[in-house]
Amino acid sequence: SPSNSSGSSNGSSDSLSGSITAVGSTALQPLVEASAEQFMTENPNVQITIQGGGSGQGITQIAQGSVQIGNSDVFAETKLANPSDAENLTDNRVAVVGMAPVVNKDVPLDNISMDDLRGIFTGQITNWSQIGGPDEDIVVINRASGSGTRSTFEDAVLAGAQAPADFNPQEQDSSGTVARMVAETPGSISYLAFSYFNDNFKVLNVDGVEPTADNVTTNEWKIWSYEHMYTSNSPDDTTQAFINYMTSNEVQSSLVADNGYVPISSMKVERDAAGNVTQLS
Amino acid sequence: MSENALLETHDVRVRYHDTHDALRNINLTFCPGEVTALIGPSGCGKSTFLRCLNLMNREIPHCHIDGEIDYHGQNINTKKQNLYDVRRNIGMVFQSPNPFRKSIYDNIAFAPRQHGIKDRARLDEIVEQSLRRAALWDEVKDVLNKSAYALSGGQRQRLCIARTLAMNPEVVLMDEPCSALDPISTHAIEETIGAIKAEGICVIIVTHNIEQAARISDKTAFFLLGDCIEWNTTEVIFNNPHDQRTKDYLTGRFG
Amino acid sequence: MSENALLETHDVRVRYHDTHDALRNINLTFCPGEVTALIGPSGCGKSTFLRCLNLMNREIPHCHIDGEIDYHGQNINTKKQNLYDVRRNIGMVFQSPNPFRKSIYDNIAFAPRQHGIKDRARLDEIVEQSLRRAALWDEVKDVLNKSAYALSGGQRQRLCIARTLAMNPEVVLMDEPCSALDPISTHAIEETIGAIKAEGICVIIVTHNIEQAARISDKTAFFLLGDCIEWNTTEVIFNNPHDQRTKDYLTGRFG
Amino acid sequence: MTKSNGAETMKYSQRSIRHAQRNDKIATGVLTAIVAAIFVLLISLIVYIIASGANKAFDLQFLTSKPEQFKEGGGIGPELFNSFYLLVLTLLISLPLSLGAAIFLVEYAPDNEVTHAVKTAIEVLASLPSIVVGLFGFLLFVISFGWGFSILSGALALTIFNIPLLVRVIQQALESVPQSQRDAGLALGLSRWETTVHILLPCAMPAIITGVILSAGRVFGEAAALIYTAGQSAPALDFTNFNLSSYACPWNIWRPAETLAVHIWKINSEGVVPDLAAVSNGSAAVLMICVLLFNLLARWFGRHAERKLMSE
Amino acid sequence: MNDSTLVNNMPNRSATSSGTLHNRANGTRPQDSTRLTKGQIERGGKTLTGICVGIVLITLASLIVMVTAKGLSTFISDGISPIAFLTGQVWDPHTLDASGLPTVGALPMIVGSFAVTLLSCAIVIPFAVGSAIYAVEVNPRFGRRFFRPALELLVGIPSVVFGLVGLTILVPLIRNISGGTGYGILAGSLVLAVMVLPTVTSLVIDALESVPAPYRQSSAALGGTRWQTIWHIVLRSATPGILTAVVLGMARAFGEALAVQMVIGNAPAMPTSLTQPASTLTSILTMNMGNEAMNTVYNDVLWSLALILLVMSLIFILIVHFIGRKSEVKHD
Ligand SMILES: Nc1ncnc2c1ncn2[C@@H]1O[C@H](COP(=O)(O)OP(=O)(O)OP(=O)(O)O)[C@@H](O)[C@H]1O
Ligand SMILES: Nc1ncnc2c1ncn2[C@@H]1O[C@H](COP(=O)(O)OP(=O)(O)OP(=O)(O)O)[C@@H](O)[C@H]1O
Ligand SMILES: [Mg+2]
Ligand SMILES: [Mg+2]
């Protein structure tokens, strides 16, 4: 079908042409859209279409080969019905997203320990007074169980601990709604990517570490994940050019850095799908 | 004004939607134990007139009734008049038999119940008497709990008459009660009309069937395009009408 | 079988829903230039019979017509018969005037157009002639492009007749064509019937108005509860009916 | 039977009549209050929606420019166009289909069990949750046919959503044409098809037009069926581009197309733009105004067509 | 006017009108040989429209088949027990239970869906019936001129707009009154109630209007007050229609997705109070469908939720038909 007509190119970047469709992660969508816009001004013959739909859709469609790029918040291995299919995909990491616990402004805390955080998100701690706050019930707002943000957060914070079955905090599928809810609901706590931070709620330090891009690059701040743009193992030139553009300094130092993402180029550590962190030399 | 007049109209005029004069200057008198037939071609205002007499026209928002309608010498066409009293005393039977979707018993007991009679024995009595007066009792006495829609058209119409009689009205208005019925049912209804007339009830009936008017009525009024052209004993109207238009109508020149 | 019979029925029987016998054993003959009136009380099957003659009953799914209907000596009540030819030759006018929601011109030109006449001059001619034959031309010739609904009831009915005449039928069926009309319109329609009869068209008319039957028809058939009780010249039926029931009906004992 | 019996009835009833009349008054009062409440609710709802987005909704810049990802001042131009384009495509597909189906059901279908079952099937279609329709469209058009998130997928999903509404409207309109019109056509030796097309449809047209425009309003505001079919992204459009395979070409039916209703839903769930509230209120107001216009249009068209039919 | 010339000039009339019908028919349409015959036109029209019905039916059939197949694969190929699925109270697909299968108990969502549906209908019924009575019996002019159009307007308001208004007005209001987060079944039901109100009300109006006028007249002629007529005659005959309206309203409420999802809080837990966040089938479905890749067990269970929605809407229609049949039997 015409929507998938892939790009043809003769190599030189100023004569790139063709069309690219990228599907997937709604969290990554704004960044890719903004970059694609710039890329298209530089390469007028290239058409890039960015579609949302969720990380699951991105991985499904790139695995089927029906699009050129599949955007995802999580490693493809964790989503695919058959994880070995991931071998047919190339993982392009274009940014890092840091996430931090956020609370309603009426919570007088600025810092929380990782243990307390785990206690809250496993239902052991239910009142702010248990961790030095006022006598107020904690309202936990979780993310939908399949969302990338949630799996990142749970990997980093719960560290394998299981929330009991009778602990069922409310869930929201989307960051926007979470931001609104935390801002409006007294005593609430949730977690958000850095890019959603605003003045309507409060961001907590964890174990005294501030949620900043710098701390993410050194893995001092532990709650972070990659944003992936999966392509096939042999992408066409236009697609490859766009991926290269995404990781180029031009995008990384402006769009990525300016909008709350952590540039991939600044990372001093690397993490694999299983969660093992290695220092980059 | 007739000495024993039960219902009299003085210059009754009816307009629909302000502009349309459906009836003009109707002056008629109705007495107890008398059957009056209203005849005339379609659309001349017979039904409209009939619906004035028990104030049913009040239900039509854009219908204005002027003039006086005296019942027992008292004008009922006033805002102060209690509609419900009038309607209970001046019953009405419609063109198509329209029993409620209830049992035969409940059809008749419905109105008395609504008017406050709760005693079962009393209701039983009212139901039986009304059905007897409408000459329907023998046909339905064993199926009183069946739906009224199990009856034939003619029986339904007599049920509607019985339903009206249960209120013990002094006047019964009938708007083409037989037009949807077969000859045998028509005959039964005509007998019923004879019987209630004998009880002293004043019957006013609209009919398209001129022969029926001749058979059953004591007086006849001929309407044409909103006017009452002629009103007299049936005898005179049929044998010696004063107006040419009446004669034309009765000899089938039009209508 | 009459020598110049145009339309004949042999033992026509009609059932609705398999069970209900609406008509039984109808044997009638209709000739060109002759007006036949069908009379009888409501529900006796007059309309049903009329609708058999141009196979309109075929449109009612649960209606079964048995027997033979011979048109020009050929049975048309067969599956193979082309309905559309029959209906073009046997026109029909209904009880309530039902012109199409089109202009007067289009009302008449519509069917000829659908039957393949596209030539404007030819259509103009058909429209004028049809309107003339229905005695409506003079009244509408200046407003041919106005909506048919701008006409009065009687004019609408004559328009429907003209519409039928535009197909040049040999038989025109009319089902109580005047029952919704005022005396003057009725008169006009009756004149029209006389005129088309004079053209040699066979007219079959259902009417509730006995006087009308007497005025305009050559033959009269009296129906009762699905049977044709009596069929004869109008003269005989009205002055010397053979059957007591016919007499009863004509003197208004029922109906 | 004497009137004394009646006098007794009277005694009983005077009290109960007063009682009944009081009940009548109370009931009328309560009913009036209920209607007033609904009316107040409706009016305040509409006023609130339009008022809170008015500054944006009447801003031409907002109506024509494209949405922004991170900055303030984004518009809803492509979304607005997509909504209308999808609506038109949907009507183009669903109207003939529904017209045909309705004509068959009213004029041709024999009155039997099969027809009954077909009518039930259409009712089932009408009562399906729109999210289920959307997911079906996703499964069939987006995945199986490989059309991706595209206008065509969206229009077909909306068609499934719209057909039962339209069939019902047209069916009712045809059924309410007096039988006498049908008889008149058939008695002239015309086929049922000719009678339907030339006589019945023109008569039913005012009702059909009204129904179609009202259904258009519902299609216009539908989001759940589109999230996974037409997609949640709106490529910038270039109205000078007539290359039907280009994503910037507005008329390309293979491009993804976020509509206004989907946009409201999406930015409220994922949005990071700083002026999120203003944009979503503005979009809601625009949506509301469009629906209001559809309603007015339906009423005007219906009345106009009616008048045109009744007398030239 | 001379009859004979007139007749001779008439179009289509054959010279001898005494020929057989067949001859006459041929003679009357010389130009018909190139045209379609009426029979052909008729067959053509019937086929064309029949095909339209066919397309609609095929669409419906494939919808049912595909959603059912997808929905059942959870149980057939993924091996999740349908009973555990329908009665399990824990929804946490990414946690595996003892047997290595995802923990997917859909009961909280099923209960949530029914709770918002029933509650919203309980709110709607008095308003719908009351206002319909007013618009039909008390003030029909107002009903036709203002109320009906207003209802149509309300039907036209998109559900996301309802969700948005619910989110910005209703949720904070409930939070201020009852504490908690404000999100929950109460907010969902109120939003749904406003959404289904116009649908139910117009159907109730239809039901009331279809009560034959003679019923009212004869009750009035017997001296009944308006309220007595409404209560004992009109409402009684309209009961099946009103029930149908309510069931169709429930069907709509049950299937509504976005508006509910925006205000209900989406906690996949058994609802314990009206103001605690809960979830419905539709809200979990819209929220998660995008996150899961096709053909994974996590995705399949979502299709099973869609299947439940499909089955429920079939059941609602069956109920409507049952009501219809019941009332027919009773009436005749
Ligand atoms: N509800 C109404 N609104 C407006 N006009 C009405 C209404 N009812 C009757 N009319 C008009 O009033 C006139 C008299 O009507 P009415 O029904 O009284 O005639 P009728 O003599 O009973 O006719 P029929 O023999 O056909 O029953 C007619 O012109 C009719 O159109
Ligand atoms: N479509 C139909 N389905 C079932 N029964 C029908 C149908 N049409 C007519 N009938 C029945 O057939 C019988 C004859 O009806 P028909 O309409 O022919 O009577 P009619 O003599 O024309 O009466 P009227 O004078 O009232 O027009 C009646 O008992 C009627 O109920
Ligand atoms: Mg009348
Ligand atoms: Mg008839």
Beta carbons within 8 Å of B27's beta carbon, 6+ residues apart: B9, B10, B11, B12, B228
Neighbouring chains of C at 3+ CB pairs under 8 Å are B, D, E
Is E226 near chain D, with CB under 8 Å? Answer: yes
CB D257 within 8 A of CB A166: no
Q: How many CB atoms lie within 10 A of CB C44?
A: 25
Look at residue C76 and tell me if it is in a domain.
Answer: yes
> b or e along B64-101 (b: 16 or more beta carbons within 10 Å of the residue's beta carbon)?
ebebebbbeeeebbeeebebbbbbbbbbbbbbbbbbbb
Q: Choose among A187, A183, A186: nearest CA to A125.
A: A187
Question: Exposure of D65 by Cβ count < 10 A (0-12 exposed, 13-18 middle, 19+ buried)?
Answer: middle
Neighbouring chains of B at 3+ CB pairs under 8 Å are C, D, E
Cα(B27) to centroid(ligand 3), Å: 19
Residues in chain A with CB shorter than 8 Å from the CB of D229 are none
> b or e along A43-54 (b: 16 or more beta carbons within 10 Å of the residue's beta carbon)?
beebbbbbbbbb
Lowest mean pLDDT among D181-195, E22-36, E109-123: E22-36
Bridge-based pairing state of the strands B29-30 and B7-16: antiparallel
Q: How many CB pairs under 8 A join C and E?
A: 62
Strand partners, A270: A278
Give the position, in ligand 1's atom list, of the atom nearest the Cα of B95: 27
For C211, the closest chain B residue by CA position comes to B252
CA dihedral sign of residues E174, E179, E184, E185: negative
Beta carbons within 8 Å of A166's beta carbon, 6+ residues apart: A123
Domain E102-331 has CATH 1.10.3720.10: yes
Give the C-alpha separation, A52 to A60, whole Å.
13
The secondary structure element, H or E, covering residue A112 is: strand A111-112
Ligand 1 pocket residue status of B145, Cβ below 6 Å: no
Structure tokens at D73: 């001042």
Residues in chain B with CB shorter than 8 Å from the CB of C210 are 252
Cα(C48) to centroid(ligand 2), Å: 6
Q: What is the pLDDT of residue E78?
A: 82
Distance of CA B161 to the CA centre of its chain: 10
Residue whose CA is closest, atom 5 of ligand 1? B16
Strand, coil or helix: what is B12? strand
Check pLDDT > 60 for residue D4: no
Beta carbons within 8 Å of E184's beta carbon, 6+ residues apart: E174, E264, E265, E271, E273, E274, E275, E276, E277, E278
Beta carbons within 8 Å of E220's beta carbon, 6+ residues apart: B56, B59, B87, E226, E229
Q: How far is CA A155 from CA A199, A219, E265, in A?
A: 27, 14, 24
CA dihedral sign of residues C205, C211, C217, C219: positive
Is C61 near chain B, with CB under 8 Å? Answer: no
Question: Which residue matches tokens 């079959």?
Answer: C204
CB C52 within 8 A of CB C12: yes
Enumerate the H helices of chain B as residue ranges. 46-53, 83-89, 104-114, 120-133, 137-140, 153-165, 183-198, 210-216, 234-239, 244-250
Q: What is the pLDDT of residue D7?
A: 44
Check pLDDT > 90 for residue D89: yes
Give the C-alpha separation, D58 to D41, whole Å.
24
**Backbone phi and psi for residue C51, each to the nearest 5 degrees, phi listed first:** -70, -20
Give the C-alpha separation, C185 to B17, whole Å.
26
CB D79 within 8 A of CB D67: yes
| Residue of E182, E267, E291 lying closest to A168 (CB–CB) | E267
What's the mean pLDDT in D123-129?
A: 89
Strand, coil or helix: what is B90? strand
Give the DSSP letter of residue A84: G
CA dihedral sign of residues E130, E132, E137, E143: positive
Question: Exposure of E217 by Cβ count < 10 A (0-12 exposed, 13-18 middle, 19+ buried)?
Answer: middle
Give the C-alpha separation, A192 to A177, whole Å.
11
Bridge-based pairing state of the strands A269-271 and C63-71: unpaired
Instruction: Pick left, alpha or beta for residue A228 (phi over 0 → left; psi -120 to 50 → alpha; otherwise beta).
Output: beta
Lowest mean pLDDT among B154-158, B177-181, E43-47, E313-317: B177-181
Give the C-alpha separation, A234 to A223, whole Å.
32
Look at residue B189 and tell me if it is in a domain.
Answer: yes
**Check: complex ipTM more than 0.90:** no
Q: What is the pLDDT of residue A245?
A: 92
Q: Choose among D165, D164, D159: nearest CA to D87.
A: D159
CA dihedral sign of residues D144, D147, D150, D153: negative
Give the C-alpha separation, A45 to A15, whole Å.
8
Q: Choose among E75, A83, E256: nearest CA to D130.
A: E256
**Backbone phi and psi for residue B172, each to the nearest 5 degrees, phi listed first:** -125, 120
Residues in chain B: 255
What percentage of residues in chain E have a pLDDT greater than 90? 38
pLDDT < 70 regions, chain A: 1-14, 173
Strand, coil or helix: what is B201? coil
| Chain segment B217-236, per-residue pLDDT in tens | 999 999 988 899 999 999 99
Give the DSSP letter of residue C44: S
| Residue of C89, C116, C129 lying closest to E24 (CB–CB) | C89
Q: What is the pLDDT of residue A275?
A: 79
Instruction: Pick left, alpha or beta for residue E94 (phi over 0 → left; psi -120 to 50 → alpha; otherwise beta).
Output: alpha
Give the C-alpha separation, A221 to A213, whole Å.
9
Look at residue B106 and tell me if it is in a domain.
Answer: no
Is D9 near chain B, with CB under 8 Å? Answer: yes
What is the maximum alpha-carbon separation in chain D? 94
Total number of domains in chain C: 1
Q: What is the pLDDT of residue E314?
A: 92
Is D122 near chain E, with CB under 8 Å? Answer: yes
pLDDT category, B3, cuts 50, 70, 90? low
Cα(B206) to centroid(ligand 3), Å: 8
Give the C-alpha separation, C154 to C180, whole Å.
9
Tens digit of pLDDT at every position of chain C (255 positions): 456 889 999 999 999 887 778 898 899 999 999 999 999 887 788 999 999 998 988 888 888 899 999 999 889 988 888 888 889 899 999 988 889 988 999 999 998 998 888 899 999 999 999 999 888 899 898 989 888 888 888 889 999 999 999 999 999 999 988 877 777 788 888 999 999 999 999 999 998 888 889 999 999 999 988 899 999 999 999 898 999 888 888 876 665
Range of the domain at C179: 7-100+167-250
Q: How far is CA E207 from CA B103, C76, D204, E198, in A?
A: 22, 45, 22, 14
Residues in chain C with CB shorter than 8 Å from the CB of D180 are 94, 96, 98
CATH number, domain of C243, equals: 3.40.50.300
Cα(C42) to centroid(ligand 4), Å: 7
Ligand 2 pocket residue status of C22, Cβ below 6 Å: yes
**Backbone phi and psi for residue B202, each to the nearest 5 degrees, phi listed first:** -90, 120
Check pLDDT > 60 for residue E331: no
Residue whose CA is closest, atom 29 of ligand 2? C43
CB A214 within 8 A of CB A124: no
Note the pTM of the prediction, 2 decimals: 0.83
Strand, coil or helix: what is C244? helix
Distance of CA C175 to the CA centre of its chain: 6
Cα(C175) to centroid(ligand 4), Å: 7
What is the rounded average pLDDT for all residues in chain B?
Answer: 88
What's the mean pLDDT in E299-317?
A: 92
Residues in chain E with CB shorter than 8 Å from the CB of C171 are none
Give the C-alpha separation, E136 to E148, whole Å.
10
Give the C-alpha separation, E17 to C201, whole Å.
11
Check pLDDT > 70 for residue D76: yes
3-state helix, strand, coil in chain D (%, to 5): 75, 0, 25
| Residue of D23, D220, D295 lying closest to E153 (CB–CB) | D295
* DSSP character string of C139-175: HHTT-TTSBGGGS-HHHHHHHHHHHHHTT--SEEEEE
Give the C-alpha separation, D9 to D3, whole Å.
10
Ligand 1 pocket residue status of B46, Cβ below 6 Å: yes
Q: Cβ of E232 and B114 within 8 Å?
A: yes
Cα(B226) to centroid(ligand 1), Å: 9
What's the mean pLDDT in D267-290?
A: 84
Look at residue B148 and tell me if it is in a domain.
Answer: no
Q: How far is CA C170 from CA A57, C93, C200, in A?
A: 73, 14, 8
Ligand nearest to the CA of C48: 2
End-to-end CA distance of chain E: 58
Q: What is the pLDDT of residue E27?
A: 37
CB E113 within 8 A of CB E163: no
Give the C-alpha separation, C78 to A114, whole Å.
92
Q: How many CA atoms lie within 13 A of C168 on its CB side?
A: 21
Of residues B165 and E98, the one with the higher pLDDT is B165
Give the position, in ligand 2's atom list, of the atom nearest the Cα of C51: 18
For E238, the closest chain B residue by CA position comes to B101
* DSSP character string of A113-129: -HHHHHHHHTTS--BGG
State the smallest CA–CA distance between residue E287 and chain C in angstroms: 52
